[in-house]
Amino acid sequence: MRTGAAAGHSGYFHEAAFYGSDDELLDLVVPFVTGGVAAGEPTMVALDDRSSDLVRAAVGDASGVTFLPHASQYTRPALTIKHYRQVIEGHVAAGAGQVRAVGSVPHPGLGAPWDAWARYEAAVDRALADLPLWGFCPYDTRTAPDEVLADVERLHPHLVTAGGHHVANGRFADPQAVAAGRPPPAPDPVEAQSPALELADPTPAAARRGVRDVGHRAALPQGTVDDLVIAVSEAVANALAHGRPPVVLRAWAAADRMVVTVRDRGRGPADPLVGLMPVPDRARGGLGLWIAHQVCSEVGLVVDEDGFTVRLTARAPAAGAARPAQPAPAG
């Protein structure tokens, strides 16, 4: 049994709304969460801290709503998908007919690069397709850039209007096509410098050694370097197995991060959302990029006329309260 706008719907019900004031946010979110609690449906809030506080104040602490810390729920897209799946599968196993979640998907207005999260919005329709989830993504038009709003409008099959009406979204488009048509993620500023390492047609072993050496020379934490090394090994293995030579690896190190690009002359994976889907079938491949998405701070896939590039970024954990600077947003 599912209640509310998703009643009678099968699988993931993915809905967005645009708001321009705190009152508008509350008018959208409060009925969503109180309706969920009233229906006995597990209900989660993963809004940015400020919005979360507003909702908490409106519904009260003892509302039965689960508030998730935004920073840990939205660290990187592949982990967010994995976490939502785990939690929702748990609720379903415990007998839930529907789970409700409202979350602020990160964008430059919230201090995060959009490319990764645009791919997330495109991926969730498929990645969560089988779950009885009503996922609600409210976007703040005061902070979200236009390019974000334009993508959001095409990536949600359902919308809530300012008047609170739930409608089918006539502008919804095939998420895979939307993802494929987006501009490529912008390079990291550090790529303007000459690389610390450049390898032509490396074996995965040579790539691992080279990247490990650069990471150690830059004195990045061992765990950060180790994570990147796993991802680099997989990217090179993919280039050798699926790409076309020559394969060129470049690596850069900055005080707080390392960036590695692996480029080949092939056309890249057919699926622009590869790596974000739940644990892929080993026989069908894709596990390498899935692992890269899990362990790297950011993964950028760039397809151009000359070939395919995977950009892997590993950030050192922020020291104290200072968060590492984000690269320039895409587009």
Contact between 283 and another protein per CB under 8 A: no
Single out the segment in contact with another protein by CB under 8 A; choices: 32-40, 173-181, 227-235, 263-271.
Answer: 227-235
User: Could you tell me the smallest distance in angstroms from the CB atom of residue 265 to another protein?
Assistant: 20
Residues numbered 229 to 258 that lie near another protein (CB under 8 A) are: 229-230, 233-234, 237, 240-241
Q: Which is nearer to another protein, 40 or 204 (CB)?
A: 204
Q: CB-based contacts of 137: which residues, under 8 Å, 6+ apart? A: 14, 15, 16, 17, 102, 103, 104, 105, 121, 152, 156
SS3 26: helix
Sole binder of another protein in the list 40, 64, 204, 285 (CB under 8 A): 204
Number of residues in contact with another protein under rule CB under 8 A: 24
Whole-number Å distance between alpha carbons of 257 and 260 = 10
> Which single residue is written with the structure tokens 């997989």?
234
Tokens standing for 283?
């026989």
DSSP 133-154: EEEEEEEETTTS-HHHHHHHHH
What CA–CA distances, in Å, run from 76 to 235, 298, 313?
A: 18, 7, 12
User: Could you tell me the smallest distance in angstroms from the CB atom of residue 117 to another protein?
Assistant: 21
Q: Which is nearer to another protein, 58 or 287 (CB)?
A: 287
Q: Which is nearer to another protein, 145 or 204 (CB)?
A: 204
Q: Which is nearer to another protein, 41 or 227 (CB)?
A: 227
Q: Which is nearer to another protein, 149 or 240 (CB)?
A: 240
What CA–CA distances, in Å, run from 124 to 35, 209, 309?
A: 23, 35, 23
User: Could you tell me the smallest distance in angstroms from the CB atom of residue 237 to another protein?
Assistant: 4
Residues numbered 123 to 182 that lie near another protein (CB under 8 A) are: none
HEC secondary structure over 186-244: CCCHHHHCCCCEEEECCCHHHHHHHHHHHHHHCCCCHHHHHHHHHHHHHHHHHHHHHCC
Contact between 205 and another protein per CB under 8 A: yes
Neighbouring-strand partners of residue 44: 66, 101
Contact between 223 and another protein per CB under 8 A: yes
Residues forming contacts to another protein in the complex (CB under 8 A) are: 203-206, 208-209, 222-223, 226-227, 229-230, 233-234, 237, 240-241, 279, 282, 287-288, 291, 294-295
